[in-house]
Amino acid sequence: RQALGQDGILAGQKVVVTAGGTREPLDPVRYLTNHSSGKQGTAIAQAALDAGASVTLITSASLPATIGAQIVQVEAAQDMLEAVLEHSAGASALIMAAAVADYRPATRAKQKIKKGDDDLSLSLTRNPDILLNVKDMAQRPKVVVGFAAESENLLANAQSKLMRKGLDMLVANDISATDAGFGSDNNRVVILSKDGTQRPIELTSKEQIAQTLIELVASQLG
């Protein structure tokens, strides 16, 4: 681990991290979600803490405690959007590791949905894009980092997301590999920067990826 506390490379900086999949409610007892474990986001929050930053971790998952971070618990994408806009205004960095659901159930039933016919159709509606909202913030964080899990055309899709969302960096993750990614302790990524550089990181721990990312964030701030 790198230098702790006030000597760390992010001493005095405020870093906001999102982690895990959002939970999109159907009724009081059910929600739609995805396989994101929140491990990579938690590791990033820990690496930022170790580097001396003050850290806010916005999450919808039940994550292991990250000692020293401010935890903001949210459920759906819309709640996460509000929390991100509030907590990242004027921050040094925002790292969006959360797997935000693209769609939510169009209506949220007030009462538990009872079973009826053999078939039940759900109507879904698009969620807001949090990073597109961040792009237009008056007090946009200085460094904004996105994540992209792709099952094909990794670099082309990642590069277009970096541009479209106005990001400083994007961590691209090839989910067609079975030895990394969702739920795993390991990951294999390419970190793209807005200056066009691409830094591949071979299969390694999510902690190691987090530390490399935090070093890149610190160098962009410094």
- Which residues are identified as catalytic? 34
Instruction: State how far the Cα of 108 lies from the Cα of 190, in Å rounded to an integer.
Output: 38
Minimum CB distance to ligand CTP, residue 80 (Å): 8
Of 52 and 127, which CB lies nearer to ligand CTP in the complex structure?
127
Q: From the list ligand CTP, Ca ion, none, which binds 94 (C-beta under 5 to 8 Å, kind-based)?
A: none
Minimum CB distance to ligand CTP, residue 211 (Å): 19
Give the per-residue contact string, 132-151, with ligand CTP (x = CB under 6 A; - = no): --------------xxxx--
Using CB under 6 A, pick the residue from 161, 206, 210, 213 that binds ligand CTP: 161
102-121 residues in contact with Ca ion (CB under 5 A) are 102
Rounded to whole angstroms, the maximal C-alpha distance in the chain is 63
**CA distances to 27, 112, 158 from 15, in Å:** 34, 39, 23
- At 110, is the secondary structure helix, strand, or coil? coil
- State the pairing for strand pair 93-96/14-19: parallel
Of residues 172, 144, 40, the one with CA closest to residue 97: 40
Query: What's the CA angle centered on 74, arms 97 and 67, to 5 degrees?
Result: 70
Instruction: State how far the Cα of 209 lies from the Cα of 217, in Å rounded to an integer.
Output: 12
Task: For residue 129, say whether it is annotated as part of any ligand binding site.
Answer: yes
Task: For residue 14, say whether it is annotated as part of any ligand binding site.
Answer: no
Assigned token pair, 184 = 């795993």
CB 180 within 8 A of CB 157: no
| AA letter at 145 | V
Of residues 101, 82, 88, 96, the one with CA closest to residue 168: 96
Of 151 and 219, which CB lies nearer to ligand CTP in the complex structure?
151
> Considering CB under 6 A, how many residues would be counted as binding ligand CTP?
14
Minimum CB distance to ligand CTP, residue 187 (Å): 14
Using CB under 6 A, pick the residue from 61, 83, 91, 131 that binds ligand CTP: 131
Asked whether position 127 contacts ligand CTP by CB under 6 A, the answer is: yes
Of 2 and 184, which CB lies nearer to ligand CTP in the complex structure?
184
Task: For residue 194, say whether it is annotated as part of any ligand binding site.
Answer: no
Asked whether position 7 contacts Ca ion by CB under 5 A, the answer is: no
Q: Which residues are annotated as a binding site for CTP?
A: 102, 112, 128-131, 147, 161, 165
Binding interface with ligand CTP (CB under 6 A): 77, 96, 98, 100, 102, 127, 129-131, 146-149, 161
